[in-house]
Structure 1
Amino acid sequence: MKDYTEYIVEQTQKLLSIDSPTGYTKNVAAYLMKVYTELGYEPVLTTKGGVFVKIADGVSEDGEICDPAAGPILIEAHVDTLGAMVSEITSAGHLNLTPLGGMNPNNAEAENCRIVTRSGNVYTGTFQLRNASIHVNGEYNNTKRAYSEMEVLLDEVVRTKEDVLALGILPGDIVCFEPRTVVTPSGFIKSRFLDDKLSTGVLLGYAKYVKDENITPARRIYHHITVFEEVGHGGCASIPQDVMEVLSVDMGCVGEGLGCDEYQVSICAKDSRGPYHYDVVSALIEAAKKAGADFAVDVYPFYGSDADAALTAGYDVRHGLIGPGVYASHGYERSHKKGVENTFRLLKAYLG
């Protein structure tokens, strides 16, 4: 059997190269539609803008349901990321921002960014503290990094609000931060927005594996790549009526008090919205053991997933959450190819 890790990492890099802050995901969705189609599937673009794909029927060649007890499953990852939006153009020709999702200004300070206008023009700039010269600003160290204290300096000769308006930049324009993606020879994957483009890459790897190896999974499988997870409603729709289980493949948390590291797959037992389905979590643990996947079971203190959103929207489904360990979530994130391998190994074993 082929090793799909490199394919997953390559697809992750391609996804990371396409700006997709939540609310501005049409380009990355178009790319996903193309990849799933090239793999031999028939993806559908949802009304919301996500990508929905049936991966397997869960039916044998003689027409029998492979595992009636398991029931159809929807696997979700999200391709929307953190970002920002222009909220105001100042008299000096600088841009004030409002965040899209949980982009923390401490993590975004001095980052290069792109401003996408409604007409399709793209301008570059840098997100900085106001009065950012430490040789001039005596309060530089004491100033709280907040959106009210920070601004974008455009890489254009602008001195007034009117100069900026003449470029076609308006409040409501999308601001995309540079991901700065690096894959090291030692296997580390470093970038903004591994949450959740790394797991989207894992799902593409699974879709390729099913086709390449002519696999007939034991249950009907759907993929849904959502585009509003970072604002809480990505997984609230587009769940087929026959689905009995929703599995979110998202970032696994790494940090103090948790057992997971960047080389493992994390199985979440509970997040800030409550416990995941007991039987699903138990089955994921057993599948990880059976597959020889290096895993950790953790409770995430500040987290919500697309699977949570599905239940909040009223769907009567079981739910679970797994993902490769990612450190420095919502900052400059880091994972490892071993974490990818273990997540992929668990996913294959769990789906049968």
Structure 2
Amino acid sequence: MSEVSYREASRVFAGSPPVRAVDKLDLEIADGEFLVLVGPSGSGKSTALRMLAGLEDVDEGSINIGGRDVTSVPPKDRDIAMVFQSYALYPHMTVAENMAFALKLKRVPKAEISTRVAEAARLLDLTPYLDRRPRALSGGQRQRVAMGRAIVREPAVFLMDEPLSNLDAKLRVETRANITALQTRLGTTTIYVTHDQVEAMTMGHRVAVLRDGLLQQCATPRELYDRPINTFVAGFIGSPGMNLVIAQLTADGVSLDGLPVPLPRTTLEAAKSASLSEVRLGVRPEALHLVGEGEPALNLKVELVEELGADAFVYGEVPIHNTPTRIIVRTTGAEAPAFGQTVRVGLRTPARLHVFDPTEGNRLPD
């Protein structure tokens, strides 16, 4: 079994005050799971990965792999394989030699090395390139070699630190699909770090969102999207992000400058028990649409239109309680308005709404 667990694991860098790059991280990763660590720069995701690899100290707490405490175990004895952002291939070696190098250091028999390299090359479509050197390969091919070097070691856990960052957009999409399919086929526990939330949502069985060293939420991509635990997760997950606006509470919900928005009774009762007069309302761009005259709506002045073919994202400002507030609306490409135009925006029915405490940012019950 190759489950991984962080148990109140912290990495603290000296300073005044000390910097808690990872702060009491509690996280359980199941055997065979593909878990993605995601967050903005400085959130602690790469540090958490390096702690698991043994490349950063664990100042507090512990880390287990397969039920074994590896907190003080040297990296070479942790049964992990790491794929970095830089390919780190030996330029004077062929593809086959690069993939076999770690096995040679471990004095694995030549016949077994050849078998493992051949199988990894087959999985990664690298068989025709085994005799080439890295300079004769494309960026995507080099990344596959780096992955092959990890695969041949047959580790308990794969660690991947932004492995697609050096690839162009089209190749990133193709390669992340390949990585996902490969992990499914191999069934190896994988922890993958990225700052790209689209990458996280399309690859992970679960996604752990970090901010300033603290774990915000760990859940399936669908749960993160549908039920973000706070405003940070709500704004970070989703492309483009969720609209978050301050709204005044009414007897039946909230009011956005004449646009009534009904809320569930449980949400209203939770807001009342917290003595709130206003809440932070979260609305995904797809929950809004352009409406005609006579329907309750907000007037939006268009500042930008992102044409995506069948769909378009409309960015603009609406006056909410005399405060200009920027929102994003998803519409069809055929309906997309022009820059500078003023359009009417209403809520779709039904629309999934998200309500948060305006001060703490935590989600209120639905």
TM-score normalized by structure 2? 0.23
Greater Cα radius of gyration, structure 1 or 2: 2
More strand, by proportion: 2
User: More relative contact order in 1 or in 2 (CA 8 Å, sep 6+)?
Assistant: 1
TM-score normalized by structure 1? 0.24
